Structure formats: C-alpha cells, structure tokens
C-alpha cells in the first residue's frame, strides 16, 4: 500500500456549519475526502460541563449563545452543547488523504488554497499543527528525490 499524507479539515472558530457539511464535501472531492457528520452526543454535554467547571468558559457565555441561536439553554442538551463547542473551537468536517509524493504536494497546495478561500483550517493528522498559509509545504513532507525528511515552510 502506498503511503498517504493525512490531513484534517476543520471549521474555524466563531462559525457554525451545517452538521452534514463534511459529507457534502465528499460528493465534490470523491475518494480524496472522507466527510464527517457531526452528530451531537452526551460527550459534547460532558465536555461542555468540564470546560465550565475548569473555568475555560462560562455558563453565561453558553446561555448567551443559546439565546442568540434559538437553542435550548441547558448544558445537558447535546445539540446545544455540540453547537456551542463547535462555534468556540471549530469542528472536524473531513479527513483528506493525499499520496505522499510530488502529485500529493501539488494537490495539498490546491486544497490549502481552497480551504483558505472557504474559511476552513487544515490540520496535519500526524503532528497536529495547522496549515494557515497558501505558501506552505507540509512539515515533514517526504523529500521524494532524496528520501529524507524535511521541515520546509
């Protein structure tokens, strides 16, 4: 099996996307993208409760968000909790797998440009850093000609 470079596409903070946004991307990009659906669960409620308990956010911020967005203002409401956390931090919308070669690098640059134009972030799956510039080469992209690992930007 050929090596692939894993990327994760995220919504940016302070922006709400349709929960099926990632799945819609799969229709446009085919096998290159595995779109994710964001299905609220008890985990979202638990994470919200923890964030409030640790002082990372306040319940007043959550309540204000719920009022503005016509959501039920209860930390136990999974849908409200999920939307609030996605709004605050961004949320994963798709996984992208590119061939680990020069063609994959060219595709990466095109995808990065598209993501920036569509107000989305790309995060490298393996080393958890964000790519925010259209002029960047992924950190640790394999140098095809020498087989060495690079960290060019």
- What domains lie within the chain, and their CATH numbers? 4-37+91-131 (3.30.70), 42-89 (no CATH)
Task: Please tell me the predicted confidence (pLDDT) of residue 122.
Answer: 83
Residue 34 dihedral angles phi and psi, to the nearest 5°: -110, 105
- As a whole number, the mean pLDDT across the chain is 78
What is the strand order of the sheet 4-11 is part of? Answer: 33-35, 92-99, 4-11, 120-124, 130-131
What are the beta bridge partners of residue 98? 5
Are the beta carbons of 95 and 5 closer than 8 angstroms?
A: no
Are the beta carbons of 80 and 71 closer than 8 angstroms?
A: yes
Task: Please tell me the predicted confidence (pLDDT) of residue 102.
Answer: 83
Q: What is the mean pLDDT of residues 66-79?
A: 97
C-alpha dihedral (79, 85, 90, 93), degrees to nearest 10: -30
pLDDT bin (cut points 50, 70, 90) of residue 66 is very high
The pTM for the full model equals 0.68
Q: Please choose, from the candidates 105, 87, 91, the residue with its C-alpha nearest in 3D space to the C-alpha of residue 142.
A: 105
Tokens of 91: 């949320």
Task: Please tell me the predicted confidence (pLDDT) of residue 152.
Answer: 40
Q: What is the mean pLDDT of residues 30-57?
A: 87
Higher pLDDT, 69 or 115: 69
71-75, 114-118, 119-123, 124-128: the lowest-pLDDT one: 124-128
Q: What is the mean pLDDT of residues 30-36?
A: 68
The Cα 151–Cα 133 span in angstroms is 15
Higher pLDDT, 114 or 1: 114
């Amino acid at each position: 099996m050929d090596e692939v470079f894993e990327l994760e596409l995220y919504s940016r903070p302070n922006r709400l996307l349709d929960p099926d946004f990632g799945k819609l991307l799969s229709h446009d990009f085919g096998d290159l993208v595995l779109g994710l659906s964001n299905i609220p669960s008890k985990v979202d409620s638990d994470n919200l409760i923890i964030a409030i308990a640790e002082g990372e956010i306040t319940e007043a911020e959550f309540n204000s968000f719920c009022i503005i967005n016509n959501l039920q203002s209860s930390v136990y409401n999974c849908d409200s909790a999920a939307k609030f956390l996605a709004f605050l931090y961004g949320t994963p919308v798709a996984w992208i797998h590119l061939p680990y070669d020069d063609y994959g690098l060219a595709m990466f640059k095109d995808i990065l440009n598209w993501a920036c134009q569509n107000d989305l972030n790309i995060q490298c799956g393996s080393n958890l850093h964000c790519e925010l510039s259209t002029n960047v080469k992924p950190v640790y992209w394999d140098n095809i000609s020498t087989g060495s690992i690079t960290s060019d930007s």
